[in-house]
Amino acid sequence: MFEIFPIRAFSDNYIWMLIKDDEVTVVDPGDSVPVINLLNEKNLILKNIIITHHHFDHTGGIQKLNEVYDCDVYGPSQGHIQGINKPINDNQEFMISNTLFKAIATPGHTLDHLSYFIDQDDEPLLLSGDTLFSGGCGRLFEGTPLQMYESLSKFANLPTNTKVYCTHEYTESNLKFALAVEPNNSHLKEKFLEVVQLRSEDKETLPSTIGEELKVNPFMRCNELDVKKAAENFSNAQFSEPHEVLGSIRDWKDNF
């Protein structure tokens, strides 16, 4: 089992540090400084970096960390992210700390986006980057609503106890929007109160779980009648496909 620590970066990013048998891995290090500070504090050496997509707030620390620690850097294989020396493709499996990671192509936020799944019976883990957030999903900067819907559908098929480690603290604002979509969702109302309390104490709201997201996240609930009706009311249109619902509520969220 990994020990997992959040490293805060910029205004709302999380760089996840995974430790097992003193082997250290970090996920999406947009900034090298807080990573190096925590490694020094714990007297550890970085061995691996995992990258989900090309945005600078997820990749900006690669070069410095590589210079200091000479890491294995896993990430999208297209060759456009400087520093990746272990290129990874969809469905590819690789070992870190005697643990099997599986890459899942999850385009939508970006076209190159990979998420990573660790299938442990007692506690499966998902490193979802900017595809799935607690209560939300990433903006469609490069992909389409259909791509995002298909990506989130892959997550929906994972075990419900899968812990979700995304890379931004957006939960409170995401759930405010979710309540606008589904004001009568009792799970959502309860979750929102929990999150408001955590944030008032400056505590992380993560990880979430797949089971929880299926109950509260409108982007994971595009087949639910209440979500479909809310999307149709917002767009003043009729939708026959769930990805159309997702596109509508993503537009709504972008302007919320």
Answer yes or no: 168 catalytic. yes
Phi, psi dihedral angles at 20 (to 5 degrees): -150, 125
Answer yes or no: 54 catalytic. no
Query: DSSP assignment, residue 56?
Result: H
Question: How many CB atoms sit inside 10 A of residue 232's CB?
Answer: 15
Answer yes or no: 80 catalytic. no
Among 55, 112, 113, 243, the active-site one is: 55
What gap in Å lies between CA 244 and CA 117, rounded to an integer? 27
What gap in Å lies between CA 245 and CA 250, rounded to an integer? 9
Query: DSSP assignment, residue 220?
Result: G
What gap in Å lies between CA 224 and CA 5, rounded to an integer? 35
Among 109, 112, 113, 243, the active-site one is: 109
Among 54, 57, 112, 243, the active-site one is: 57
Query: DSSP assignment, residue 168?
Result: B
Locate 110 and state its tokens: 């970006």
Answer yes or no: 121 catalytic. no
Among 54, 58, 113, 243, the active-site one is: 58
Among 53, 54, 113, 243, the active-site one is: 53
Helix, strand, coil distribution of the chain in percent, nearest 5: 35, 25, 40
What gap in Å lies between CA 80 and CA 62, rounded to an integer? 13
CB 106 within 8 Å of CB 131: yes
Q: Where are the beta strands (DSSP E) in 93-147?
A: 93-96, 99-105, 114-118, 125-129, 132-133, 136-137
Among 54, 112, 130, 243, the active-site one is: 130
Residues known to be catalytic: 53, 55, 57-58, 109, 130, 168
